Structure 1
Amino acid sequence: MTDPIEKLREYGYELPAPKAPVASYVPVNRSGNLLYVSGQLSSNENGVVQGLLGDNMNVVQGGNAAELCAVNILAQIEHTAGVPLHEIKKIVKLTVLVASTSDFFEQHLVANGASDLLVNVLGDKGKHARAAFGVAALPMGAAVEIEAVVEV
């Protein structure tokens, strides 16, 4: 399998420095061989990607925001937990929160942005269970927030 960092570059991303917590929590909590990665916002070097699906964002833009969340999850795994990406055994589960209007029903398609990136970067290790749902608002106005359970 190709190195995950190289696959990430093929996707157009460099692994960023991990984002610091914005409230009272730790970004990653390890229990045995499981990492619980706190919700990562749709953010990049320019700040938080804000928006509301069904209002000022479409599914493609939402999927791109979800990709950013996945990249930030990988950054937390490698930099905060100190686990090189090639040592990931399995992305066990993602929980995807999508800021959306009450008449937007495509949260699952937005979540595909993160799911597809993880599978493309990690191969079969990136296949996971998932929940995706809409919420009225997310911290800092983020369009998407994703938490992960990862086996290492």
Structure 2
Amino acid sequence: MSLIESRLAELGVTLPDAPAPAANYVPYVVTGNTVYVSGQISMQDGALITGKLGEGMTTEAGAAAAKTCAISLLAQLRAACGGDIDRLVRVVKLVGFVNSTPDFTEQPKVINGASDFLVAALGDKGRHARSAVSAASLPLGVAVEIEAIFEIA
């Protein structure tokens, strides 16, 4: 087991298989030492986490949904690295989209669910630049979608 996967196991997380794309795109692109991972939607155990923040979904539930996106991002990274996720040098950037009402303003707290998890799992390698924005809706009605850029060795 890799060092990163051992740390994830300590946190009670096992990486799933990388989710297949839902449309006409690739799940990731590797160019040089950079991996661009397509947006990963909030889902757990194969079930979509749907909802709209500010309308029946709490910030805490949104943060939990964002964490599931981060887990999928790491699963895609592992696939991009041919199974060797320990090639990770650092998380460079996250771009998080939150399905929310126009008056909802806690997008950063929602995306913290992913950011906090990545730092807990990866230490300094998990610290990253980030954007957290609102969307009127997201694919399949999911609560959160997050894309990422990683540096690998």
Please give the TM-score of this superposition, normalised by the length of structure 1: 0.95
Structure 2 unpaired stretches of 5+: none
* CA distances 1:66-125 after superposition (whole Å, capped 9, x unpaired): 000000000001124425222200100000000000110000000100001111111101
Does the Cα contact within 8 Å between 1:28 and 1:81 map onto a contact in 2? no
**Cα distance per residue 1:33-92 (max 9 Å; x no partner):** 000000000112141100100011111100000000000000001124425222200100
Task: Name 2:25's counterpart in structure 1.
Answer: 25
CA displacement at 1:13 relative to structure 2? 1.7
In the alignment, the residues of structure 2 paired with residue 57 and residue 12 of structure 1 have an alpha-carbon distance, to the nearest angstrom, of: 25
Runs of 5+ consecutive residues of structure 1 not aligned to the other structure: none
Q: Could you tell me which residue of structure 1 aligns to residue 14 of structure 2?
A: 14
More moved, 3-12 vs 54-63:
3-12
Provide the residue aligned with 2:109 in structure 1: 109
Q: Hey, what does 2:122 align to over in structure 1?
A: 122
Q: Which deviates more, 74-83 or 39-48? A: 74-83
Whole-Å Cα distance in 1 between the matches of residues 102 and 9 of structure 2? Answer: 36
What residue in structure 1 maps to residue 72 of structure 2?
72
- 8 A Cα contact 1:70 1:118, kept in partner: yes
Moved more, 70-79 or 83-92: 83-92
Q: Which residue of 2 aligns with 1:53?
A: 53
- What's the CA shift for 1:10? 2.8
**Contact persistence 1:18–1:80 (CA under 8 A):** no
Amino acid at match of 2:90: K
Higher strand share: 2
Q: CA deviation at 1:126?
A: 0.5
8 Å CA contact 2:18–2:72 kept in 1: the answer is yes
Tell me how far 1:32 sits from its aligned partner: 0.6
Aligned length: 151
Counterpart CA distance in 2 for 1:46 and 1:150 is 24
Alignment partners' CA distance in 2, 1:81 and 1:40 = 17
